[in-house]
Structure 1
Amino acid sequence: MFKLKGNTLLILVLSLVLILSITGCKKEADSTNGDKAKDNPATEDSHSNQDDNKDEEKPVKVEYANGASDSAIKIGTVGVQSGPLAFIGTPYFAGMEAYFNKVNEEGGVNGRKIELIKKDDEFKPDKSVQAIESLVFDEEVFAIVGHLGTPGVMASVDIVKEEGIPSVYFGSGAATLTEAGENFFPVQPNYVYEGKLMAKYAMDEFNASKIAVIYRNDDVGKDGLDGIVDGLKALGKSDVLAASDQLAYNAGDTDFTVQVQKAKSANPDLLIIYGLGGGTAGILKEIEKVGFNIPMLTTYSNADASFLAMASPGAPNVITNLHVMGWLDVSEAKLKPLNDAMAKYFADVPVNAYTMAGWVAAETFVAGVKQAGDNLSWAGYIDAMNHLKFTEGLAPEISYTTGVREGVTQMAISRVVQQDDAFIFELLTDFNAF
């Protein structure tokens, strides 16, 4: 053992404190510089400006939402695929799949293949809710695309809204879907808007001085009637609408004697029939029976060859006085990609209005993906859709802005004409907005 004199010990202690202080300051400086380097990659290596510039140019990696990856985008759809209404869902989903097959065969969207999961709800709201829950929570899809049928869409809207998952195109014209939320992107015209445009066409194309409306007594018919009333009011023509309180019918009705007699007694020069499929066909049959043959106008939901095949046998004369609203450009050039894809992938499925609707659902979703690029978070996709203006598809234009969810707003009128032994639709007007 040895002893240090006081002065020597003091010098050593002071030297040790000084060394520790210098070391601590150096560590603190290094730590501070390291944090700054993390905050600002350009300062990470002060000896290489070239490396700094490379770091600054690197794009920020966006975290993908459920169902999206570098190679694929998994989406889900729900609608009737079995039972008596399968004639709607079969061509509808074939049109959707034909478009996705075509896109995938061409390399996908920005290198990503579209994977479609289909769920059958048999057109039952409770089964539709179960299917949506399965797609969102079990399958963890990126988006819901082309949910088919107003009952199912309305039953599950709260789930989709709460989760915030993008929902693109509904096989529905329910007006409430235009206010469902920012993650909803309706495409089909809603029935209220269509009713307004019907009112405009009633004045501009038919020069109507009195209009009668036979309508289905549910959300479909009531929305359409509300739109007609609103449209006529905006045009200053409310007085041309005949009383409509006795002209409603219920879904499932087969006897339309009262409604047609009431409409005929109003002596209108234009009859608007706001109903779907079998109901409208039954009304036409009663009109044929009583010889009430005046110009008629019906909703785009009846703009399909299968409707003509159903309605024309019971109304072979008056059906040529029927006009129908439409929102798709069915010119030969516009339909060629669809016809070619259907011939290749689903040659045994008819190409009709339902097929076209499924195709539009698919091309609208893909247009949004192209707009979003690699920013495939839900927020990124929604933002991309809010800047979309798509004019290359079957619809004249599909566009959205923040807070605006009207769907297609340009529609045209076609009339029914007889061609050889068949009845077909012939375009009568240009596409117009209200």
Structure 2
Amino acid sequence: MKKLLSILLVLALCLAVTACGGLTNEPAEAPAATQPAAEVTSEVSAGTPAEAPADDGYAPFVPVQGVDDTTIYVGNTAATTGSFATVGVPFNAGMDAAFKEYNDQGGFRGKSIQLIHYDDGFDAAQGLTYTKTLVETDKVFAIVGHFGTNTVGATLDYIKEMGIPMVYAATGIEDLYQEGATGNAKVVYPVQPIYNSEGRVLLARAVAPVEGSLGLGGTKIGVVATTDDAGTGLVYGVKKQAETLDVEIFYQDVDAAATDYSAAVNVLKNNGCDVIIACMNQTPLATLMASMRDANYNANVITSYVNASAVTLGAFVENGSITKDRTVYSTAWLDTSTDEGMAGYMTFYEAMSAWELENGGTGNDNALNSYAMAGYIAGNLFVQALQDLDAKGLELNWANFNDVMEEVEFQVPMGGTINFHNGDRLAITSLALNTISLEVGESGYYELQVVSPIMSLDDVLASIG
């Protein structure tokens, strides 16, 4: 039973690329679901005028809001109707499950978390309008599970201006990446991988030793990067990490829309690159792999978690683009192959099932839904911050909340750890390394196989001599 569940989870987490890194281009393929936005009315104090700025320049428009005698109000805007409803509906359900789990345990000193949600239809302008409503009318304490590239990109400046905490963004856009953030900029807490940070991990794994399955053992690295956001963000990270590693790197830029990358491939082949970092999404990755196949170029390839699709990579095996001498490795930020990862999944499942049964579901509707898992993670990390505040006996206000967010080493359910120390907003850099099976597995499909479990970037770098 456990083995079957593990197989099913691998398939589910393969789909997490759209739950956790997509939300940028094409709508979900599944038919649109429909669920009305939650209508929540609340009477929350308007807050008091902001106090003098902290030493680091933090100056929110009020010290705290969204907290009354019984409730802590948080909010998000997410597409829960239309093409992205198949993402937004389970994502919000996952958050609600995490909040119910916490509330049922007594909440924060008897206060329950309540989510106020608006359906922005995946429209940036509407998302900004609703975010302002959440902050200025509903007066929420925090934005939790901020949803989608369009809305997140349109609202980051506003969130920083107001100084309201934002925990978890369901996107990995470059604008989320910050090093040493201070003042109001520090209130943004991204979690799922950001391209700029993941590029650092890709280079570290590319050169880490093969022994112990830590990396690919590359000695001369080729980088093929599309000139879109994905490519430029990943290349930024590669170049950032290259500052600390003594390794020869050759860079080639390509057009994401091109149908042949033979020129770039031949440059890297002629220079003897033994590992290729593919800084791109799925469609250009197919072009790269076909070009390497046609050039008879046998080098291992490592790429972003957004390409960790068993369907996509299995197709490369079928057409000969992937062989035993030309394998594709991808990162992953969730991993249920370990006992700890499976325990994290079971905690999610129990919370999700309890919420569903209370809200007219079967208890198994979202058991393998990666979007619900992502939402649960968003809610759970917010809860972890409240638990630390409670344990320290601190007053619930924005200054204390931000201090805790900076200090805590958070455990990501089904994942590794993340912290926001010293103002760094790098998102998750503790990632696993997967590859694709060369034969169809017990599931009847090609399967992602864990090569190396989740490791922190620091631990991977420590293995490099």
Does the TM-score normalized on the shorter chain lie above 0.5? yes
Structure 2 residue runs without a partner (length 5+): 1-61, 209-214, 357-362, 459-465
- Which structure has the larger Rg? 1
**Could you tell me how far apart the structure 1 residues matched to 2:313 and 2:227 are?**
20
Pick one of 452, 458, 463 that aligns with 1:429. Answer: 452
Aligned length: 361
Counterpart Cα distance in 1 of 2:279 and 2:122: 21
Match of 2:95 in 1: 96
**What CA distance in whole angstroms lies between the structure 2 residues aligned with 1:394 and 1:94?**
18
**310, 329, 336: which one aligns with 2:346:** 336
Aligned Cα RMSD in Å? 2.9
- 2-structure distance, mates of 1:209, 1:319: 21
Secondary structure at the aligned position of 1:324 is classed as strand
Output one character per residue of 1:186-241: Cα deviation in whole Å (capped at 9) or x when no partner. Answer: 2223322211121111111212234333333233320101211232342121x3x3
Check whether the contact 1:256–1:286 (CA below 8 A) recurs between aligned residues.
Answer: no
Query: Which secondary structure does the structure 2 equivalent of 1:77 belong to?
Result: strand
Match of 1:236, SS state, is coil
| Contact kept? 1:293, 1:318, Cα under 8 Å | no
Residues 305-338 of structure 1: CA deviation (Å, up to 9, x unaligned): xx33355346535457221112334232221111
What aligned pairs does 1:273-288 form with structure 2 within 5 A after superposition?
Answer: 273-280=278-285, 284=289
Secondary structure of the 2:250 match is coil
**Partner Cα distance (1:71, 1:64) in 2:** 19
2:206–2:277 CA contact under 8 A, matched in 1? no
Amino acid at match of 2:133: S
CA distance in structure 1 between the aligned counterparts of 2:97 and 2:288, rounded to whole angstroms? 35
What is the one-letter code of the residue matched to 1:140? K
Shift of 1:260: 5.1
What are the residue-to-residue correspondences of 1:222-371 with 2, within 5 Å? 222-237=232-247, 239=248, 241-245=249-253, 247-249=254-256, 253=257, 255-257=258-260, 259=261, 262-264=264-266, 266-267=268-269, 268-280=273-285, 284=289, 294-303=299-308, 307-310=309-312, 312-313=314-315, 315-316=317-318, 317-318=320-321, 321-330=327-336, 331-344=341-354, 345=356, 347-349=364-366, 351-371=368-388
1:288 and 1:315 in contact (8 A); partners too: no
Q: In structure 1, how many angstroms separate the alpha carbons of the residues matched to 2:288 and 2:84?
A: 21
Identity in percent = 28
Contact kept, 8 Å, 1:212 with 1:263, in 2: the verdict is: no
Go from structure 1 to structure 2 and tell me whether the alpha carbon gap of 1:264 and 1:106 turns closer, same or farther (over 3 Å shift). farther
Closer/same/farther in 2, CA of residues 375 and 284 from structure 1, 3 Å limit = farther
Higher RCO, 1 or 2 (CA under 8 Å, sep at least 6)?
2
Secondary structure of 1:182 counterpart: helix
In structure 2, what is the Cα distance between the partners aligned to 1:107 and 1:260?
A: 61
Larger relative helix fraction: 1
Q: How many Å separate the matches in 2 of 1:360 and 1:290? A: 43
Task: Select between 277-286 and 226-235 the one with higher mean Cα deviation.
Answer: 277-286
Corresponding residue SS for 2:452 = coil
Deviation, structure 1 residue 370: 1.5
Query: 1:416/1:89 Cα in 2 relative to 1: closer, same or farther (>3 Å)?
Result: farther
Taking a change above 3 Å as real, the CA distance of residues 389 and 287 of structure 1, as seen in their structure-2 partners, is: same
> 2 CA distance for matches of 1:194 and 1:308?
20
C-alpha contact (below 8 Å) 1:288/1:314 kept by paired residues: no
Give, in whole Å, the separation in 2 of the partners of 1:273 and 1:92. 29
User: How far apart are residue 433 of structure 1 and its match?
Assistant: 1.2
Q: Matches of residues 81-230 of structure 1 in structure 2 within 5 Å? A: 81-179=80-178, 181-204=185-208, 205-230=215-240
1:275 positional shift: 2.6
Shift in Å, 1:368? 1.0
CA contact (8 A) 1:271 1:297 kept: yes
Structure 1's unaligned 5+ residue stretches are 1-62
- What CA distance in whole angstroms lies between the structure 2 residues aligned with 1:347 and 1:290? 48
CA distance in 2, matches of 1:287, 1:102: 49
In structure 2, C-alpha distance between the alignment counterparts of 1:207 and 1:141, rounded to whole Å:
49
